[in-house]
Chains A and B, each alone.
Chain A
Amino acid sequence: MTFFDGDSSLISNLPAIVVTLPLFASLIAGFLGWKNRKAPYPIAAVALFLTFISSVVLMIQVMSTGVAIEYRMAGWAAPVGIVYVIDHLSALVILLITSIAFVNFIANKSNIDTVFRNKAGAFNSLYLLFTAGLLGMTATGDAFNLYVLMEIASLSGYALIGLGSNRAPLSTLNYLFLGTIGATFYLLGVGYIYIATGSLNMADIASIMPKILDSSMILFAFIICMVGLLIKMAIFPLHGWLPNAYSESANVAAGLIAPLTTKVTIYIMIRICLTLFTPQYTFDYLNTSDLMVWLAIGTIIFGSLSALAQKDYKRMLTYIIIAEVGYMVGGFFLGNRIGVSGAILHIVNDAAMTLALFMAAGIFMWKTGEESQESLKGMFAKMPFTMAGFTVAALSVVGVPPTCGFFSKWYLISGGIAAGQYFFVAALIFSSLVNAILFFRIFEIAHFEPFKDHHHHSSNHSNKGEEASAHDTHEQTIKEAPLGMLIPFMAVSILLVVLGLYSGQIVNNIINFAIPSSIL
């Protein structure tokens, strides 16, 4: 009987556990890293796995009860203390964060060993702290607590991105400046909200909001919070930091940060607009839809065109990320139920797609040691499994059924038509076409051009016959990535299809409950 009690108290404490477990693991990993260089990795892996399990349990709990879980930190109730609120939306994003952090960590073991060899303790600590920061940002129901956790996620993010190519420190410095401005703007906004309402709790502020709709302080708080978040999610024209920061960094860092940072920031934007400022203020009183949708259209077009101009595979991905930010922001600010559903669904799908593409980048880098698209020659023959997974991910970004990218795009386009934002619909279709060109260009290089062995540059250019036969032998030997990289990658690419097939259930059973009923 006591065991059962202990078990149920474990479950009731899950909202705190899911955030503090990575924190504790990071402390232990940082501590043991000084004793034994090999110790931190398994600790971090186990902790990330347990966090993933707890997030699954949280999701099941929220779905089965149908009500949001409120957890009082230090035992104080809502406006006085800090509460965590796990509703359908945050449970979904928490599950997304934990699964991506875990899969990326498992898949990149060799990358961690080479890049962070001497600093394993510090690296594993920071990886866990980044995860904890994002989880806290997602789970919290307190506007200031969100800022504190944003600080943790940002600081550890800068550190993780800072080690990579020779130019990584410079691009990280750039990211640090802009990221700090973004976070500070958000904090300033919270300060204004506190002056106007005297509260920091999101639900409490939302209950005060109807009385102070015309307060200019609230207007400014809304503007400055939004600008801060838009900088952090890298919307055009505030995107300057993103391409360099993500493409210069080590694969393990890019694979964690690229899928998660922008997506979690969009989640924060949705959370702030819906839970804190209330949909009534965001959509009806201020009528922000048109402005934000136009911003999104600009982002989509700019991101797609810039991606077209890139020669490096990873840089191309970074511009695709920027275009996708436009999808989600635009979809959310359409302000109707279909558009908002599409935006939330796309947070999940885009994170999974980006993870798959960056994992593929990691495998290509491991294989060729280069980042240019030209280096992918002959990859289909050489690495059939990897390329199969890559094809699924690419088709998903383009938006081909039954991959998940198609379904969220379908919701976004239907939402755009329902809201009468035809330019947004046109931008989405344009971007899909550009994505098709981008990836089919890579398919062409990887399928039709012969493999170039980058490890042993062929010195034998004089004799054409010999060279051709050499290529023949190359093409026959299939040399895949090590299983440690390949299996997680294949799992993620299968997940892309599974997410697509079950997207109806996700929308009906989770996202539907995440959107307030006032949005029609």
Chain B
Amino acid sequence: MKILGTITILLCGGLLIFFTSDFPDFGDPKSPASIHLSPYFIEHTLEDTAVPNIVTSVLADYRSYDTMFETTVILTAGLACFLLLRIPTKEVTRRYYLHEPTGVTLRFDGDRYPKGSNVFKRIDSNWVPYDIIINFTCRLLIHFIQIFALYVVAHGHYSPGGGFQGGVVIGASIILFAISSNLRASIKRLGEKAAAIFTATGVFIYAGTGALCMVIGEHFLNYSFLAPLLGTDRIMARSHGIFIVEIGVAVAVMAVMIWIYYNLSSAGKQDEGL
């Protein structure tokens, strides 16, 4: 079986290499990809959409329908992780409590310890002592990471960036917080329910914009018809429309990253973990 697999892989690789012989040269201006559609995008993007970044306009306007479903793919991934991994039972067997004045750790079976005590603190089973350097650095960094993320979302029109990248950076900042303190602290600030609702909201912003265009005008996602609502002309409305859907993408991507992280790092229990 192993030999069969190796032969298949070698055959596929060989075929892939063999068929590259017919490829156009690297950066060939006469290649079909460069002469068929690309000239249209290069020449018309600015007059069609008022967005200087061609990648953004292709992604979120000319082929915005693809991008909407790419965002939906991310939502699907989050839902799939939740459906398959999440263990809904509340019967947590063992919990550890640290008595802070003495440093003694107690183990309780079940959830018997009264909440709201100011001397006992619940800790994870793989607890490590508080590390001031890691905590302090992360506290300092997270705000700047998040502000940078907002910049990335907003500047997709002019520079590399946009909803996916910005959303990933925000999500990463929250995961960094979860790693530097612990999962429970992170869930306390942004719970699973909030993450799930944010995910649906993000995709809803995108698809809802599309449907709004359809209701007002004639085509799904044709942002031009938003012009009266946004108070701009039809070209500028496309630029604004792109920005609106980028925000939707950012919200969805951020929330899904966090949601999947919660489920993966705690093996679906969302009780303790990194």
Contacts and interface: CB of A to CB of B under 8 A. Distances in A.
A155 B73 contact: yes
A80 B40 contact: yes
Nearest to A83: B65
B76 A73 contact: no
Interface stretch (B82-90, B123-131, B137-145): B82-90
Contact of A195 (B23, B65, B66): B23
Contact of B33 (A72, A81, A142, A195): A195
A275 B38 CA distance: 23
Given A24-B207, A145-B66, A198-B33, A12 B223 contact: no
Nearest to A75: B222
A31 B63 contact: no
B72 A74 contact: no
Interface residues of A, number: 62
Contacts of A195: 23-24, 31-33
Interface string A118-153: 110011011001001000100000101100110110
Interface in B195-235: 196-197, 199-201, 203-204, 207, 210-211, 214, 218-224
Interface in A11-40: 12-13, 16-17, 20, 23-24, 27-28, 30-31, 34
A197 interface: yes
B196 A9 contact: no
Given A81-B63, A82-B66, A123-B83, A74 B221 contact: yes
A504 to B, nearest CB: 37
A74 B222 contact: yes
A155 to B, nearest CB: 5
Contacts of B211: 20, 24
B176 interface: no
Interface in A478-512: none
A215 interface: yes
Interface stretch (A156-164, A345-353, A396-404, A462-470): A156-164
Given A13-B214, A148-B69, A199-B37, A216 B22 contact: yes
Contacts of A142: 66
A72 B197 contact: no
Contacts of A158: 80
A199 B36 contact: yes
Residue picked from B193, B196, B199, most chain A C-beta under 10 Å: B196
Contacts of B117: none
Contacts of A194: 33
B81 to A, nearest CB: 8
A414 B208 CA distance: 50
Given A23-B207, A30-B200, A122-B83, A129 B72 contact: yes
Interface in B1-30: 15, 19, 21-24
A198 B204 contact: no
A162 B211 CA distance: 32
A82 B21 contact: no
A34 B193 contact: yes
By Cβ-Cβ distance, the 4 closest A-B pairs, closest first, are A198-B36, A159-B80, A75-B222, A73-B65
Interface of A: 9, 12-13, 16-17, 20, 23-24, 27-28, 30-31, 34, 71-76, 79-82, 116, 118-119, 122-123, 125-126, 129, 132, 136, 142, 144-145, 148-149, 151-152, 155-156, 158-160, 162-163, 169, 192, 194-199, 208, 215-217, 219-220, 223
16 contacts: A13-B218, A16-B220, A30-B196, A30-B200, A72-B219, A74-B62, A75-B222, A82-B65, A119-B88, A145-B63, A145-B65, A152-B76, A156-B79, A159-B83, A163-B84, A215-B22
